[in-house]
Structure 1
Amino acid sequence: MIKINMFSSADKVAGQGVGSAYVELINLLKDRFSNEFDIKINNYGRSDLSHYHTIDPQFYLSTFSKKRGRKIGYVHFLPETLEGSIKLPKPARMVFYKYVIDFYKRMDQIVVVNPTFIDKLVKHGLDREKIKYIPNFVSTENFYEKTKEEKIDFRKKIGIPEGKFIVFGDGQVQERKGIDDFFKLAELNPDIEFIWAGGFSFGKITDGYDRYKRMVENPPKNMKFTGIVDRNELVNYYNVCDLFLLPSYDELFPMSVLEAFSCGAPVLLRDLDLYKAIIDGYYQPANNRFEMNDFINKANMDRSILDKFKVKSKAATNQYSEDNLSKIWYDFYNDQYKIAKRDK
């Protein structure tokens, strides 16, 4: 049995995709490979493999211990992707960004959730041969399409009539997520209901916190900010929306998009290059707010337009299924164990 220590604080702060990805992986491994993998969480005992999901300072210090075995680092962000997310004084920001890269360089193996990050990590000085791409996934047991009756009931619960067109978005309230465009689209379309699930996971160090706090407290009449929603409740929002919209300017492999796909929701995204490497063809692209607005209005007028996108969402779910990813992770950990034994 391979001893794997998972190091993570990702699930301590609600509303973060990193935490969702971590929970999905742990559940998958424990459900399917409990006889092959002995998994412990934040345990500093001896292990064959140590998989670091977050970059906490105490985890960094632990990498100097010989008990860690082969060290695997999970890259969910780079310094450049934090721009527009957190606000720090420039000296502190530079120190933190250097620390992020130093942490990754302490690893024997890096896993990225988007292949476009490989070249970027190489530019930061990491060895290309030590970087592997493994995509995110979501559990279809937790995120699935509900019955028509269940959808109607949830609409009633949140006070939205059955025929009302709903645009739903999910993520932290911050500039990088494109929340300004989402807000403006709500203002431009008073006959459409806009819902944003998410809050300030970074608290007051969120870049633009004061402005976004005022925005959350004073939305248009047709817009709701739900705050951070538990994942067990989030599935209902994906199910009742007519269209899922994530207008982010920068992402890795957003869990919210996979969750929307898994619930059969049509997906509209800002057309980012990094999406083309992972989910091209599964969503409606838009270059800016005006193109988003145009598609939303067309879909509202003729909802049959969305039928093909529901089919695309199901296809994406099959592509990034638990069955496919479980084999990838099983092979990955076994390969890493073989390397660890060889080097030992």
Structure 2
Amino acid sequence: MKVLLYLEGEGALSKSGIGRAIKHQERALQMAGQAYTTNPDDDYDMVHLNTYGLKSWSLMKKAQKAGKKVIMHGHSTEEDFRDSFIGSNLVSPLFKWWLCRFYKQADAIITPTPYSKRLIEGYGIGDKPVIALSNGIELAKYKPDTAKEAAFREYFGLSANQPVVICAGLYFMRKGIDDFVKVAEQMPEVRFIWFGDIAKWMIPAKVRRIVGTDHPANVTFAGYIKGPVFEGAMSGADAFFFPSREETEGIVVLEALASHQHVVLRDIPVYEDWLTDEAVEFGQDVPSFVAALERVLSGQSRKTEAGFAIAQSRDLEIIAEQLQQAYETIYQT
């Protein structure tokens, strides 16, 4: 069996969670020794679609006409489409309808968490099998490294004793960018750095103002950075603060947990099945986020090892075996 991994619009999505997820899939298949291709012109027996564009639809219909199985990856839901791009809330019902066209046509759906599985099953897609399977994390890549941590501090001009809190995500209200800035206003002695970027014309004016000038001096919007500086930030910062209001998993959360980092999250349903307050700090609003970060920065919160154990349970080598098993099951049905 040979699998086609397909990501339409790879260039535009390379900085997103979906872009990173397909890299995890590719690495997982390498680990499992599973034959695969990313070229739709190659021969293959099954296609694993990661996007919902017209080319993906055409490829799905072509594959099924040839008697090949099609898996849709449930990265997206109506819920996590809202509060993102300009007009996203207005068109979200149409987006859901379009998603459901794919989900109903596919032979099976793989989605990152039990939460996103429940959402998709609730869309009225019939009896299509929906498999909850984490995006996984390559633990070795995020092992704390003093050289990377030094590169992070040098890049941002941070002194050895400067407390720093980081976040990573696209510039979306859904990601909690507004609360990130409000929390920073309450903690002027702490440096707050947001990693991530998106074309400014795609986001609402309010978010453009936040990123542009409407934030305190202790906040830095660093743009998209990868490699040693970002990996050093994940382990070398004092906390990873991710106030997102909706996720299907949150790869950056796995990255932070794998980095032995203190993690502060908004208490939302996606975490209910796999994260507890023994592993992370939860908040719901600005005062509770500030309180959680103060516990971390004062040394009162020591949950990094419990958090790392959760990352270990989602080690990409484990996910690789589960993904290959899912492929075999779907291929044989």
CA gap of 1:113–1:139, structure 2 versus 1, over 3 A, is same
- Equivalent positions of 1:169-180 (< 5 A) are 169-180=167-178
CA gap of 1:156–1:44, structure 2 versus 1, over 3 A, is closer
Aligned to 1:224: 220
- Contact conserved, 1:17 with 1:255, CA < 8 A, in 2? yes
Aligned to 1:277: 273
Deviation of 1:162 after TM superposition, in Å, equals: 0.9
Aligned to 1:342: none
- Contact conserved, 2:152 with 2:228, CA < 8 A, in 1? no
Q: Does 1:204 align with 2:201?
A: yes
Q: Unaligned 5+ residue runs, structure 1?
A: 340-344
TM-score, normalised with respect to structure 1: 0.89
Aligned to 1:268: 264
Cα distance in 1, alignment partners of residues 193 and 161 from structure 2: 16
Deviation of 1:268 after TM superposition, in Å, equals: 0.5
TM-score, normalised with respect to structure 2: 0.91
Aligned to 1:51: 48
CA gap of 1:133–1:291, structure 2 versus 1, over 3 A, is same
Aligned to 2:78: 79
Cα distance in 1, alignment partners of residues 328 and 123 from structure 2: 28
CA gap of 1:75–1:10, structure 2 versus 1, over 3 A, is farther
Cα distance in 1, alignment partners of residues 8 and 61 from structure 2: 19
Aligned length: 328
- Contact conserved, 1:18 with 1:76, CA < 8 A, in 2? yes
Secondary structure class of the residue paired with 2:72? strand
Deviation of 1:128 after TM superposition, in Å, equals: 4.6
Deviation of 1:44 after TM superposition, in Å, equals: 4.1
Secondary structure class of the residue paired with 2:58? helix
Q: AA paired with 1:133?
A: A
Q: Does 1:193 align with 2:159?
A: no
Cα deviation code 1:261-308 (max 9, x no counterpart)? 1111110100112201122342111121110111222333x22x24x2
How well do the aligned residues superpose, as a CA RMSD in angstroms? 2.1
CA gap of 1:179–1:114, structure 2 versus 1, over 3 A, is same
Secondary structure class of the residue paired with 1:229? coil
Secondary structure class of the residue paired with 2:2? strand
- Contact conserved, 2:175 with 2:245, CA < 8 A, in 1? yes
CA gap of 1:286–1:171, structure 2 versus 1, over 3 A, is same
Q: AA paired with 2:133?
A: I
Q: Unaligned 5+ residue runs, structure 2?
A: none
CA gap of 1:11–1:236, structure 2 versus 1, over 3 A, is farther
- Contact conserved, 2:282 with 2:292, CA < 8 A, in 1? no
Q: AA paired with 2:242?
A: L
